[in-house]
Amino acid sequence: MYNALLGEARKRLSLVRQSLWYTKAKKSTDKKERQAHFSAARHAHGFSVYALEAVADEMRRTTWLGDHLDSHVVQKLAKRAFEAVQKVAWGQAKTVRFKGQRGLHSLEGKTNAACIRWRTDRVVWKGLELPMIKGAEKDPVIQHGLSSRIKYVRLIRRNIRGKTRYAAQLVCEGVPSIKVNEQGEPMHPIGKETVGLDIGPSTIAIVGDTKATLMQFADEVVRDHKTIRRLQRKQDRQRRANNPDCYDETGRAIKGKPPIKKSRHQQKTDVQLQELYRREAAHRNTLHGQLANQVIAMGVQVKTEKLSYKALQKRYGRSISVRAPKLFLSILTRKAERAGGKVEEFSTYRTALSQVCLCGQKHKKKLSERVHVCDCGVVMQRDLFSAYLAKHVENERLQVTDAHEHWPGAEPLLRTAWQQAYNQPASGRPGPSSFGTFRSQSRSSEKESLPEHETRDGVAMAQATVRACESAKV
């Protein structure tokens, strides 16, 4: 059904693109006229969600598929197919994918009143009855969910340890439950400060009023990713061995000859890999959630530069998909909004936080320059400094006077964070080069008395100097 709808939607899109209105719209320079032409083209060839839903209903009534599916499920499928084709129409995707033998991984209804629905303790759908696992109702999270209105039910299929598992997701109305400890207090406190963030490809700097942190992003996941890489190479070797005709003499894949043959051993590798992917995603989710809770504990008004996922991917490739900074941001946004705050993203182009200084000067930096050094005496790790600046952005403009005023109070805080990140990373290994070599003091504070933490930590300072010498030699 999905494939049929997808094919129909694709056909309609191509008709739209061949139409006279479309050609006229392309030539037109007037915005309103253009839109009117486009809309006429779409209307003439029935390229809309509603038109496709009508096709789906018709298909359900007239073919054997109707015996197995009902109107709501079919309409949702139509919507899904349409949205896939619409992405192609808008240039957000190159092509659509038809579903293979395994079919869809999820199906959902539209309301809880008909079709796939939840009735007190079970999912009911066309003679299918799936009762809730015994004892699940004792879970406070599930209790909270069941006490709210259920909007619709989604059935999903997952592969867990090589076995197929089905589950029902109830999409509920209202706010998520809040975890509490034994004393009945919320487990994750909500802070009141304004927090500035700088999210890099591998590091994150968090700066609040009373706390600052510099750390690596989802570090554990990256470490465990080695196993996946090794298996991927194994899978590739196996694929080549099983399909020698699909590659030319230099080892490149031949176009139009997809490697389909799979040995028993390769099938085993595939299952292993699938399981590892799933676990990696789950682990990453947990770590991102923990980090988001850390930020929320400082404050729920979060400010950060807009991340360009594509730009990051171009520059850093695969490591981005493993650390998934954008996913972190969406988790953080969700959690902050739930706590009554928000995540404000402003454009990098207008603020250029990695270039400006408190004195108003602009320095273009290379990516490899990890430390912000200015004539005015400011010396600070680059990510921490831009997180500090992000904290002082209002309406897409950096409030320089504001940032300048608070700098003397914030500097020791940021310096401690830098030192901690550089000397004692959580994993016990030396800090990565992206943290920059720690510099114990800025030039402006040389004249003044040393902050307390620096006089105390003589050993760390000596260490830092040694490292600085080493890097100078290199």
Minimum separation from the CB atom of position 377 to Zn ion (A): 7
Q: How far is CA 367 from the centre of its chain?
A: 23
- Nearer to Zn ion (CB atom), residue 245 or residue 446: 446
How many Å apart are CA 345 and CA 306, to the nearest integer?
A: 5
Query: Is the Cβ–Cβ distance between 175 and 281 less than 8 Å?
Result: no
Alpha helices in 339-451 (DSSP H): 348-351, 382-391, 400-423, 443-446
Minimum separation from the CB atom of position 444 to Zn ion (A): 10
Q: Count CA atoms closer than 13 A to 375's CA, side-chain side.
A: 5
- Nearer to Zn ion (CB atom), residue 381 or residue 420: 381
Residue 127 DSSP SS3:
coil
- Nearer to Zn ion (CB atom), residue 282 or residue 359: 359
Minimum separation from the CB atom of position 203 to Zn ion (A): 23
Minimum separation from the CB atom of position 151 to Zn ion (A): 53
Minimum separation from the CB atom of position 394 to Zn ion (A): 20
How many Å apart are CA 28 and CA 41, to the nearest integer?
A: 14
Minimum separation from the CB atom of position 314 to Zn ion (A): 31
- Nearer to Zn ion (CB atom), residue 376 or residue 450: 376
Furthest-apart CA atoms within the chain: distance in Å: 86
- Nearer to Zn ion (CB atom), residue 327 or residue 400: 400
Tokens 């050094």 belong to 373
Query: Is the Cβ–Cβ distance between 37 and 28 less than 8 Å?
Result: yes
Minimum separation from the CB atom of position 442 to Zn ion (A): 10
How many Å apart are CA 227 and CA 225, to the nearest integer?
A: 5
- The CA R_g of the chain, rounded to the nearest whole Å, is 28
Site residues for Zn ion per CB under 5 A = 357, 359, 361, 374, 376
- Give Cα separations from 63 to 7, 9, 49, 59, 292 (angstroms): 16, 18, 21, 6, 49
Residue 338 DSSP SS3:
helix
Minimum separation from the CB atom of position 32 to Zn ion (A): 49
For the chain, how many residues are written?
474
- Nearer to Zn ion (CB atom), residue 294 or residue 442: 442
- Nearer to Zn ion (CB atom), residue 352 or residue 376: 376
In 3D, which of 159, 415, 420, 385 has the Cα closest to residue 274?
159
- Nearer to Zn ion (CB atom), residue 271 or residue 376: 376
- Nearer to Zn ion (CB atom), residue 195 or residue 403: 403
- Count Cβ atoms within 10 A of the Cβ of residue 15 and give its class: 0-12 exposed, 13-18 middle, 19 or more buried: middle
- Give Cα separations from 300 to 97, 154, 332 (angstroms): 40, 31, 9
Minimum separation from the CB atom of position 386 to Zn ion (A): 14
Minimum separation from the CB atom of position 199 to Zn ion (A): 24
CB atoms within 10 A of CB 426: 11
- Nearer to Zn ion (CB atom), residue 137 or residue 402: 402
Query: Is the Cβ–Cβ distance between 439 and 461 less than 8 Å?
Result: no
